[in-house]
Structure 1
Amino acid sequence: MIPLGLDDIAEVVGGKVLRCEQPHTVLVTSVSSDSRQLSQGDMFIALKGPNFDGHRFVAKAAEMGCSVALVESEQEVDIPQLLVTDCYKAMGLLAAFVKQQVKPKTVAITGSSGKTTVKEMVAAILSQLGSVLATKGNFNNEIGVPLTLLRLEPQHQYAVIELGANHIGEIAYTTALTKPDVAVINNIAAAHLEGFGDLCGVARAKGEIYEGLSESGVAIYNQDTPYTEKWQWRLTDKKVRTFSCVKQADCYCSNIRINDLGFSSFTLHTAEGEIDITVPVPGRHNVCNAVAAAAVALEFGASLEQIKSGLAGMAPVKGRLNIVNLATSMTLIDDSYNANVESTKAAVELLSGYKGRRILILGDMAELGEDARRYHQDIGEHALALGVDNVLTLGVLSQSASSVYDGNGAHFSQRDKLLAHLIELCAGEQQNITILVKGSRSARMEQVVQDIKSWRNSEKESTC
C-alpha cells in the first residue's frame, strides 16, 4: 500500500479520529482485516458480518502492533482509532483512492470457471512488460477485491484483478472500485445458482463487470459462451473484442494437440499474426483460458512472443489440476481448490484421457440451488459416458453422482472409510491408476488429497 497519514485516510473515508492528538504523525503502510496476520504498523479493519465481529479482536490487534484500528464504535483500547459508520464502505473508499493514486493499467476478470487460471496467465504474460499486482488466492469478492487494491504500491504498472460473486450487485460494486481498462467475461455456466436463480441471472451478474470500464476501456468476452445477449446492451459505447476456441474471433485457436498427460499445444490466431503455444497446465479447457489471457495481453501491448514466453513460465495454481506422481504407475490429479459443474466436467474429461484405471473422487459442489442433486447426477453420467472406471463420493449431494455407477460407485460420509475403499480398489492393480480429486471449497477435498499422499508416503517408507 502507498504510505498514507491517518489524517489523509480520515478525509478519504469520512471518518473521525479518536485517541490520537496528532493524526498526521501516524503513518499507515498496509492494512489487514485478519488479526492473526497483522504486521507491525498495519491498520486493522474491524469488519462485521452475520457470524463474526472484528471489533472483538481490536485489543489483540493492538498487542500485535497495529498502528490504528478502523472501527464502527470506539473500543476501550489505547491505540489510534478511525471511527466510521460502515467499515466495508470505508475500506472500499480507501481502496478506490489508492488505485486512483497508483494508476496501474488494470484488467478485471470474471466468469463462472477458469477466472483464477486466466488471472495467473495474464499476470505471467504482463510480468514481462513491467511490475504486476495480481489477486492472491480467492480474494475476489467484496472484501477481497478492496484488500487486493490496497496492496498496490507505486512500482506497480499493471493490476490483474479477479472478480467473483454469489449475488447480484457484487461485481457492480467491485468493478466500480477497480475501474478497469480491460474487462473480460471468461464464460457462463452453472455456479452460485442459489444467489443468481438461474443461468440468465449468472449472465446478468457477470455483465456488471462492464459497468466500471473507463471511457476508453475494452470489453472482452468469450464468443463461445451462451447468454451474451444479457450484456450486449452495456457494450454499445465500448470497444469490444472477442475470443473463441471453436470459431474465428478477434483472438482464436486452431490445431489443438493434447499429449498423454493432458497438456495441450495450439496455434493462436490474432490480428498481429499467429504463433504456436504450449499450455503449462493440463486440460483442453485451459486452451480456451490461454486464448482469453492472450486476448487481454494484446490489449496491453504484449507481443506474440511475450504471450508464448509468459504462458510457458506460468507457475502452477495450487489445487488446480496439479499433477502428482504418487508412484511409477499411480498419478493424482489434485483439482480440490473449488468446483462447479463446468469445471468438474472439464476435469473429468482430462481424467478420461489417461490410460489404465481412472478413479473420480468427488465432493459436494456448493450453491447449485434446488436442482443441485440433478447437477451432481449429471457429473456421474458424464463420467460414465467417458469411461471413468470408478466414482467415489464424499458429502451429501455428491451421492447422486456415485449412484449412477451401480457396483463401481461408492458414497461415504467419512474420509477414513473413503480412503480404505480406495486402497482396496488399488490393491494388486497391474495397470496404471489415475485419481482425480474434485469438490467445492466447503467440501474440504484438499484433506482427501493429503490423506492419499500420506497413504502413498507410508507405503514408500514401508518398502524401504
Structure 2
Amino acid sequence: MKKKLQQLATWLTIENQAFPDTVVTGISIDTRTISKGDLFIPFRGEAVNGHRFVEQAFEKGAAASLWMKDEPNPPENLPLIFVDDPEQALQKMAECYRNEHKATFIGITGSNGKTSSKDILAGTLSPYFKVQKTIGNFNNQLGLPITILQLDEDTEISVLEMGMSGFGEIEFLTKLARPHYVIITNIGEAHMQDLGSREGIAKAKFEIVKGLNEEGLLFFDGDEPLLQSLVARTPNLKTQSFGFTRSQDLVASNIVATAQGSSFHVEGAINGDFFISVLGEHQVKNTLNAMLVSRALGLTDDQIREALKQVVLTDMRMQLISVGELLFINDAYNAAPTSMHAAIQFIEQTTIRKEKWLVLGDMLELGNDEQSMHEEVAAYIDNQKISYVCLYGPRMKWLYEKLQTKFDAAHLVYSEQDYDPIINKIKLNATSESIILVKGSRGMQLEKIIQSNELA
C-alpha cells in the first residue's frame, strides 16, 4: 500500500487533514516491529495505552499515526489522524483498500489445517503469481485488516486465513475481505467451549460463504457430513469437494509417507500422481484444496505438480527435526481431538523408523467435554505399534490413567508441569531407530522438549 494521508482521511470521512501529502506505505500496531513509512495504530486497553508509544513510533520511522479524539495531549506538529475508535478506523481503511484492489482474494477457515492450507496454497501459486498471505496468526478482526492493508498494490493473489472463537466473527471477516474463493478445511472440536457442539462449530465456519463473491466457489471437506448438510441447504452455492471418499470432486488415495514427504494419487477434477514434502494424510487433504483452487486459477496439472514439490510449511506443522541421531516430528503448534487422531494415525503407520514415540500435551479450549475427549485418545493408541508414550499437562492425567492398562511404567511417563521427566526418558531410551511425535496445544509449548540442551 502506498497512500497519502489525505486518501486515508477521505476513507475515514475526515476533513481538513493536517500533513495531507505525507505518504504511508504500511500499517503497524507494535513499535517493536514498526517499519519506515508505517501508519501506527495505537489501541487503548485496560493494561496498556498505545498512545504512550506514538512519539516512539515516529522515532522509529512511522510516517503517521492515528489518535483517539478523547485521548488528551496529542503531540504537536506530527502527522496524526484523529478518530473515534482506532479498531473501527483500521477496519474501514482495510475495507476501502480491499474495494479498490485488483487481486483475487481467497479466504480459508476450518478447525484444523488453516495455516497449513494457507502455506500449501500460497506455495503452489507463488511460482506463477505474485502472492501475499496472512503472516503468523493475523487472522482475526485486527489481524485480517492489517494483512489487507499490507498488500502491495501489484499483488495478484491474497490468501487470507480467517480464525474465530464465536458466532459472527467469520461473517465479519468474510464480508470485509469479500473473497472470490473460500475454503473450509474441516470441522473439529476447537472452541467447543464457546460454540457448544460440532454442529455449532460447522455453522460458525460456514459463515465464510456470506462474503463470497456471487460467482465465487466454496471448496470444502466433502468427507464431513456436517458440511455436506450445510451445502445442501444453501441454494445457488457453487462448490467443489475434496477428500478420501469416492463421491468427492477430488479424491486422494495411495498415500505413502517417506522421510522426504508424502506421495499420493488423485482422481476427479485432477488426475495423476503427486508429491509434497509434508507428512500426514491430513496434510494431503489440505493439499487437495490447494490443488482445486490452483486449477480454478488456470494452472495445469504439471504446473501444480512441480510447485507442490517446493512447498514449505510454517514451523511446528508435522515438521521433521533431527537432533543428533534422534528424529522428531514437531506438530506442537496446536491440538484438538481430530488433529491428535490424525497425527497418531500417521506415526503408527509410518515406516520412516521402527520405534514409535508419542509426546502429547493438553488439548485446550474443549469445554465441558475435555475429560472425555482426552480419555478417548487412548482408543487411538495401539500398544503394538507405539513403544513409548510421554504425557505432559494437567489434562493429560486423564489419558495417563486410561493408558496404564496398555503400557507398563517403563514405557509410560506422565508429568504435570515439568518437562524434565520426559526429556530424561527420551535421552535414556530413544535411539537412531526412534521417531518421536510431539503434539499439543500451543499453550503447552512442547517444542521446548525438542530444544532442550540435554538432547543436543
Q: Does 1:394 align with 2:382?
A: no
Q: Which residue of 1 aligns with 2:150?
A: 151
What CA distance in whole angstroms lies between the structure 2 residues aligned with 1:121 and 1:361?
A: 26
Q: Does 1:324 align with 2:321?
A: yes
Q: Is the 8 A contact 2:257 2:280 kept in 1?
A: no
Q: Is the 8 A contact 1:62 1:77 kept in 2?
A: no
Task: Decide whether aligned partners of structure 1 residues 285 and 262 sit closer, same or farther in structure 2, where only a CA change above 3 A counts.
Answer: farther
Q: Is the 8 A contact 1:121 1:310 kept in 2?
A: no
Query: Which secondary structure does the structure 2 equivalent of 1:209 belong to?
Result: helix
Q: Which residue of 1 aligns with 2:192?
A: 193
Q: Percent identity?
A: 29
CA positional deviation for 1:362: 1.7
Q: Does 1:410 align with 2:423?
A: no
Q: Is the 8 A contact 1:107 1:159 kept in 2?
A: yes
Q: Which residue of 1 aligns with 2:183?
A: 184
Task: Decide whether aligned partners of structure 1 residues 225 and 404 sit closer, same or farther in structure 2, where only a CA change above 3 A counts.
Answer: same
Query: Which secondary structure does the structure 1 equivalent of 2:140 belong to?
Result: coil
Q: Is the 8 A contact 1:211 1:234 kept in 2?
A: no
Q: Is the 8 A contact 2:67 2:74 kept in 1?
A: no
What CA distance in whole angstroms lies between the structure 2 residues aligned with 1:238 and 1:311?
A: 29
Q: Does 1:285 align with 2:282?
A: yes
Q: Is the 8 A contact 1:279 1:286 kept in 2?
A: no
CA positional deviation for 1:296: 1.4
Q: Is the 8 A contact 1:16 1:82 kept in 2?
A: no
Q: Does 1:419 align with 2:444?
A: no
Task: Decide whether aligned partners of structure 1 residues 265 and 212 sit closer, same or farther in structure 2, where only a CA change above 3 A counts.
Answer: same
CA positional deviation for 1:93: 1.3
Q: Does 1:308 align with 2:305?
A: yes
Task: Decide whether aligned partners of structure 1 residues 176 and 51 sit closer, same or farther in structure 2, where only a CA change above 3 A counts.
Answer: farther
Name the Cα RMSD after superposition: 2.2
Q: Does 1:28 align with 2:24?
A: yes
CA positional deviation for 1:54: 2.4
Q: Does 1:43 align with 2:39?
A: yes
Task: Decide whether aligned partners of structure 1 residues 187 and 386 sit closer, same or farther in structure 2, where only a CA change above 3 A counts.
Answer: farther
Stretches of structure 2 lacking an aligned partner (at least 5 in a row): none
Stretches of structure 1 lacking an aligned partner (at least 5 in a row): 458-464
Query: Which secondary structure does the structure 1 equivalent of 2:20 belong to?
Result: helix
Task: Decide whether aligned partners of structure 1 residues 298 and 260 sit closer, same or farther in structure 2, where only a CA change above 3 A counts.
Answer: closer
Stretch deviating more after TM superposition (33-42 or 406-415): 406-415
Task: Decide whether aligned partners of structure 1 residues 424 and 48 sit closer, same or farther in structure 2, where only a CA change above 3 A counts.
Answer: farther
Q: Which residue of 1 aligns with 2:449?
A: 448
CA positional deviation for 1:270: 3.3
Q: Does 1:242 align with 2:241?
A: yes
What CA distance in whole angstroms lies between the structure 2 residues aligned with 1:57 and 1:193?
A: 37
What CA distance in whole angstroms lies between the structure 2 residues aligned with 1:444 and 1:437?
A: 10
What CA distance in whole angstroms lies between the structure 1 residues aligned with 2:142 and 2:24?
A: 19
Q: Is the 8 A contact 1:262 1:353 kept in 2?
A: no
Indicate which of 359, 362, 374 corresponds to 2:360: 362
Tell me the alpha carbon deviations over residues 41-98 of structure 1, each in whole angstroms, 9 at most, x when there is no partner.
2111113456544233223323323222223244533322222222222111111222
Q: Is the 8 A contact 2:358 2:388 kept in 1?
A: yes
Q: Which residue of 2 aligns with 1:460?
A: none
Q: Is the 8 A contact 1:32 1:42 kept in 2?
A: yes
Q: Is the 8 A contact 2:260 2:277 kept in 1?
A: no
Task: Decide whether aligned partners of structure 1 residues 89 and 376 sit closer, same or farther in structure 2, where only a CA change above 3 A counts.
Answer: same
What CA distance in whole angstroms lies between the structure 2 residues aligned with 1:386 and 1:292?
A: 34
Task: Decide whether aligned partners of structure 1 residues 305 and 9 sit closer, same or farther in structure 2, where only a CA change above 3 A counts.
Answer: same
CA positional deviation for 1:290: 1.2
Q: Which residue of 2 aligns with 1:4?
A: 3
Query: Which secondary structure does the structure 2 equivalent of 1:264 belong to?
Result: strand
Q: Which residue of 2 aligns with 1:116?
A: 115
Query: Which secondary structure does the structure 1 equivalent of 2:374 belong to?
Result: helix
What CA distance in whole angstroms lies between the structure 2 residues aligned with 1:235 and 1:299?
A: 21
Q: Which residue of 2 aligns with 1:462?
A: none
Q: Which residue of 2 aligns with 1:374?
A: 372
